[in-house]
Structure formats: C-alpha cells, structure tokens
Homo-oligomer: A and B are copies of this chain.
Amino acid sequence: MDARPIGMFDSGVGGLTVLHECLVTLPHEDFVYFGDSHPDRFPYGPKPAGVIARFAHEVAAHLAALDVKLIVVACNAATASALPGLQREFAVPLIGVITPEAHAAVQATRTRRVGVMATEATVASGRYPQAVHLLDAGIEVAQVACPLLVPLIQSGDVHGEELHDAARAYAAELKDADVDTVILGCTHYPLIRPMLQRIFGRGVTLITSAEEIAREAADTVARRGVSNEPGREGTYRFMCTGDPGAFREVAGRFLQLPLTEVERVDPAALAVAA
C-alpha cells in the first residue's frame, strides 16, 4: 500500500485528457496535475529543446518535492525533449508518452501500415517511427504534421466547420497511405476523436496517448506494488503557473470531470527551487 499521489504535468491543459483516462483507470489513486501555463512558458511545443528541458526540470523538481510516487510526462514536446534527462536526474520514476502508443499501434495493426497525426515538432523528432520500428522493423509509418489542430481545439469550437475541414485534410494524407491504425500523437486530439473516427471509418483503429499511458501507469503501479488502497475514491488537484481562472475556464472540457482546487505556483519560485 502506498498512499503517495501520482504527479503529472504538461505545459497547458492538453495533458488533462491523460489525467481523465488515469482517473478512470486508477480511481483509487490520488493525482496532482501541474499545468505550466504562464504565458512566458506555455506552450512548450514551439520552444527550443533546451528551454523545454529547463522548464520540465523545474516542474518535475516541484512535483518530486511533493513526494509523488510516479511522474507522468503528459506532453509530447516534453517527452521528446526532456524525458531521458529527467529520468537520469530524478530518483522518482518518470514515464512519458510516445512509446506506449507506439507499442499499442504495433499490436493493433493488421496491415502493418500505421499513421501518426501529431504537431510539427513531434513529427520532426521522428520519435514515433523510431519507437514503432524498434518493435517491428517491417511496419510502414506515415506521419502527418497537423499544425492547425491544437489552436482550433484550444479555441473551443470542437464541432466547428473549420476544425472539421482541417481534420479531413490531414486525415486524407493518411487515408491515401492506406493505414489501418492511426496514433493520435498529441494530448489535445482525444477531444476530436469521434470526428476522426467518422472521417477514417470504423475499419481504422485510433490509438490515443491518453489511454495508452493510463494503461502504462496502471501496470507500473501494480507491478511495483505501490498501489493505494483499492476501493477508496482517489482525489485530484491542480497547480498552474499561469492564471488559475483562465486555467479553470479551459480545463473542464479536457478533464470531463468536475474541477477541484487550482493553486497558483509562482514561476520565479519554481526556477529558484529547482
């Protein structure tokens, strides 16, 4: 039995889709979610790798000081730029996105043609094809960078025509590549999953970061023997470096659960403590 909470972070609210899946999969665990949402820091995606690594280090240090038993890096940019460094620096175990979805896609594909929808930075990093090929060198991976999706999803109109058109255009490239499995390689994308499933059709398996990392977190906690008491109802709380009101306003749609306490953490104090 291990009553310590699980920590999780992202530069904004996207990681809340991961938290949602973790809260469903591990209802008896406590969670602390850190959104690094200050305008000087959010979003990580377009920033240089060195800057992302510094921000991620500061946030991970803050979570580690709260005595979490596991840190989930619920952000593609931070996973790609910072995860190995964080794992070497910190005693607390860290897991990230990318490898869990790659693993699930390898298991799911029947035609061994896998598509990836992700932000430009994630596509450019080549981490998804690399992770897929480590498990099955014979799988063809088609990637499409989807720069319009995050701003459109973030803006709120997830059923709008503009988002639909953009999603259809990106999906067309993967349909041309005749994939039977598509990795939704960004924590924002679960919000348009129903739309994407309709565009691709039922014959295509969609794999999300959120579901796969929830499975990975659950396996990790179980195998390590650090589960909290089964049957209890876990708690979750939030901290962010930006304005808590603004965070709260957007967060509900991503979390799909009632929002609790949102504490503001001063980014200057974060940098000093790390």
Judge whether A134 is part of the interface by a CB distance below 8 angstroms. yes
Contact of A224 (CB < 8 Å), options: B103, B110, B131, B134? B110
Q: Mark A178-206, 1 if CB is under 8 A from B, else 0.
A: 00000000000000000000000000010
CB nearest to A131 among chain B residues: B134
A219 and B136 contacting across the interface, CB-CB below 8 Å: no
Cα A86 to Cα B137 in complex, Å, equals 8
A224 and B107 contacting across the interface, CB-CB below 8 Å: yes
Residues of B within 8 A of A224 (CB): 107-110
Judge whether A104 is part of the interface by a CB distance below 8 angstroms. yes
B83 and A137 contacting across the interface, CB-CB below 8 Å: yes
Contact of A84 (CB < 8 Å), options: B85, B110, B137? B137
Cα A2 to Cα B254 in complex, Å, equals 38
Cα A110 to Cα B69 in complex, Å, equals 10
Residues of B within 8 A of A147 (CB): none
Of A23-31, A88-96, A163-171, the one touching chain B: A88-96
- How many chain A residues sit at the interface, stated as a range, is 35 or more
Judge whether A223 is part of the interface by a CB distance below 8 angstroms. yes
Cα A17 to Cα B253 in complex, Å, equals 49
Chain A's interface: helix, strand, loop or mixed, by majority?
helix
Residues of B within 8 A of A87 (CB): 136-139
Judge whether A225 is part of the interface by a CB distance below 8 angstroms. yes
Cα A91 to Cα B216 in complex, Å, equals 29
Residues of B within 8 A of A248 (CB): none
Residues of B within 8 A of A84 (CB): 133, 137
A110 and B219 contacting across the interface, CB-CB below 8 Å: no
B138 and A107 contacting across the interface, CB-CB below 8 Å: no
Question: Given A90-B138, A135-B99, A138-B89, are A110 and B220 neighbors across the interface (CB < 8 Å)?
Answer: no
Judge whether A274 is part of the interface by a CB distance below 8 angstroms. no
Judge whether A54 is part of the interface by a CB distance below 8 angstroms. no
Cα A95 to Cα B103 in complex, Å, equals 12
Residues of B within 8 A of A139 (CB): 87
Cα A109 to Cα B136 in complex, Å, equals 26
Residues of B within 8 A of A86 (CB): 138
Residues of B within 8 A of A223 (CB): 104, 107-108, 205
Cα A88 to Cα B223 in complex, Å, equals 33
Judge whether A226 is part of the interface by a CB distance below 8 angstroms. yes
B134 and A99 contacting across the interface, CB-CB below 8 Å: yes
In the complex, besides A88-B138, A110-B226, 7 extra interface pairs with C-beta distance below 8 angstroms are A84-B133, A84-B137, A87-B139, A93-B136, A109-B224, A134-B134, A205-B223
